[in-house]
Amino acid sequence: MTAGTREAHLGSVPAWLDGEPAVDERMLTLAHRVARRAAGRSRRARAEAGKSVVLVLSTVDTSGPAAVPGGRDARAKVLAALQARLGARVDRRRLDSAAREAVLLDELALLPPRQRYALWATALQHRSVAEVAAATGWSPAQVARLLRAALRTVAAHAQL
């Protein structure tokens, strides 16, 4: 990420945009996001989901060497364990939707920094290519190429 990118949006850029987080951190975030979204608004359901996250992560080994680059094999194990643990307790459609969203955000975290920023700024912050180019000092063509590459990569790897 260029210095101009960080200065242009100081405070609004998540810390995970600066580097690739560790597999363990990503799996904790993924499991927490899925459990919270799947549980809904009930305090009791969220508390149960939180316990499920702890139990699932204690049973799945995410620290070993990854067989698939980026720890995607660990992600598949965590999602399978979460779906087995939460499947009977929460609405299946809500659980599947939460899992898809978490996988997409996990894939975003695995992108190279410039692609990650381009996709994050346009898709999640709803900024135009011109706005991203102005904020970063990149040309609009560079932003468009980075965005296409990011979308292609996420589409190829975002599998449940």
* Exposure b/e, 38-69, CB count within 10 A at least 16 = b: bbeeeeebeebbeebbeebbeebebeeeeeee
pTM of the predicted structure, to 2 decimals: 0.71
pLDDT band at 4 (very low <50, low <70, confident <90, very high): very low
pLDDT, one tens digit per residue, over 83-137 is 888 877 788 888 888 889 889 888 888 899 999 999 999 998 999 999 999 999 9
